[in-house]
Amino acid sequence: MTILPFLRGRGLARPLADACADTAAPVPVPRSKSVIHLPADHYLHRDAPTEWWWHIGTLKAGDRVFGFEINAASFPGRAPAFGFSQIMLTDVQNQKHYQATTVYNTPAGYDPATWAEHDVARDWHVGLGKAGSLFTAVKVTNPGSGYDPAHTVVTVSGGGGSQAVAYPVIVGGMIASIQVANLGRGYTSLPDITITDPSGAGSGATAKAVHTFITMDAAWGDPTQNMAVVTKLTDDATGTEVVFDLTMSQKGNPFLVWGTGVSQVLPPDWGSHLQTGNYYYSLTNVAAAGTITIDGEVFEVTGKTWMDHEYGFFGSAANPVKWHLQNAQLDNGWSLSNHYVLYGPNKPPKPGEPVPCEVTLQDPEGQMYLVSGVMIADRPWISPHSKTQYYLDYQLDIASFDAVLNFKALVPDQEFPLLPAGSIYEGIASAEGTFQGKPTSGTGWIEQAL
């Protein structure tokens, strides 16, 4: 059984500042403190217990505004190892949200050593699922009841292929999910999925096969340029198919989270640097262009988007990392990422309650800063899927930059509902306010793993 402990964000960040009223002139983090070396660190780190690449942000087709996330990840340090994808599209005009999470299991569905390219002398590649095979995953459409894990069988048939193997994850007698252990071969159409319990105890469960995949590719040398990102999403709720075909190129220096790109989470003598540290950088000035296709309707899109790459130690299945986060790309050329990690004294914030936080910023010349801030969460919203309470508005006060920014989610429901536990909110937002005493606005992003 694969538990889904893959809440991700800012790792187990260093302890936050006790006081956030710092008004002293901010001091940049020296570039010599950076532990990130590109292009090498853009590639797979084979000894890392976790690794993620994900693209997020705002894309526009004329006046039409879309938020998106394309996330591919690997957890080779877990037992058993697994990969997963999270893909979503938010259509702001129509207030619609399409999303799906897919788990890929070893040995046939995913290989932690080869799912992404590690050799910097080769073209950069990240991939989960198969674009050429029409069978990738199974979506439970009715969980049924009364199922016995010792007897329940999932059968994959038809579709012109063979050899696929899948098994149920049963929670409280219900089919919580169906994991594909072997994708089989030769599927030219979606196969049929049958769930049976020979004991007769379980009944009512239904499921359907879906096709989804992620590929990220770029030429060696500088893989931050002309990244080809192609992915297909089949929405969990409606079955709507969404296809992304995007080309992305970064301009300028990488954004180093914490100013250096690393947080030393565990004592160094507990293992290698990848086993004890959380490494994290972003590309926050990515020119993106291409198409989004929603059930056959094609939109030509462009935008300045954001890519994250995180690897190393990242919590455990028993103690997943939880956080509140806001990103902004401002019209004055600054980018910033604020986070409030829930651990120790950092309790879940109440509506309107100020809490201390930690903000990483990058100026238009690429210089990094790490400063204290104050975050206020507001406008609570309860998910109809997971019943989790999230916040749709955030205020961020950064005294050292004479800045007050307001983030507002542009669509309420932007959740990846992972039941029975592990749901996460990731979505497009607006960002506006003042920075260095002057009005500013830009694109924003809100994350909550609670």
- Picking from 100, 105, 74, the residue whose alpha carbon sits closest to that of residue 87 is 100
Please return the burial class of 24, using the count of CB atoms within 10 Å of its CB with bins 0-12, 13-18 and 19+.
Answer: exposed
Helix (H) or strand (E) holding 400: none
- pLDDT value for 343: 86
CA distance 339 to 321: 12
Mean pLDDT per 10-residue interval, the chain, length 450 residues: 40 39 80 97 97 98 98 93 95 97 83 96 95 85 93 96 92 89 88 95 94 96 98 93 98 98 94 96 98 98 98 85 95 97 91 97 98 98 96 98 98 91 93 98 97
217-274 residue pLDDT tens: 999 999 999 999 999 999 999 989 999 999 999 999 999 999 999 999 999 999 999 9
CA distance 139 to 161: 19
Best CATH choice for the domain 31-129+213-449 from the list 2.40.370.10, 3.40.50.450, 2.40.30.10, 3.40.50.150: 2.40.370.10
CA distance 323 to 336: 16
> What is the phi/psi pair of residue 347, to 5°?
-90, 160
In angstroms and rounded to an integer, the radius of gyration of the C-alpha atoms of the chain is 22
282 C-beta neighbours (distance < 10 Å), count: 24
- pLDDT value for 184: 86
Provide the sign of the torsion angle of the four alpha carbons 181, 184, 188, 191, taken in this order.
Answer: negative
- pLDDT value for 136: 84
- pLDDT value for 148: 93
Q: Which residues of 413-435 are buried (b: 16+ CB within 10 A; e: fewer)?
A: bbbbbbbeebbbbbbbbbbbbeb
198 C-beta neighbours (distance < 10 Å), count: 10
- pLDDT value for 23: 60
- pLDDT value for 297: 98
171-197 residue pLDDT tens: 999 998 888 888 888 899 999 999 999
Domain-wise residue ranges, the chain: 31-129+213-449, 137-210
CA distance 184 to 134: 11
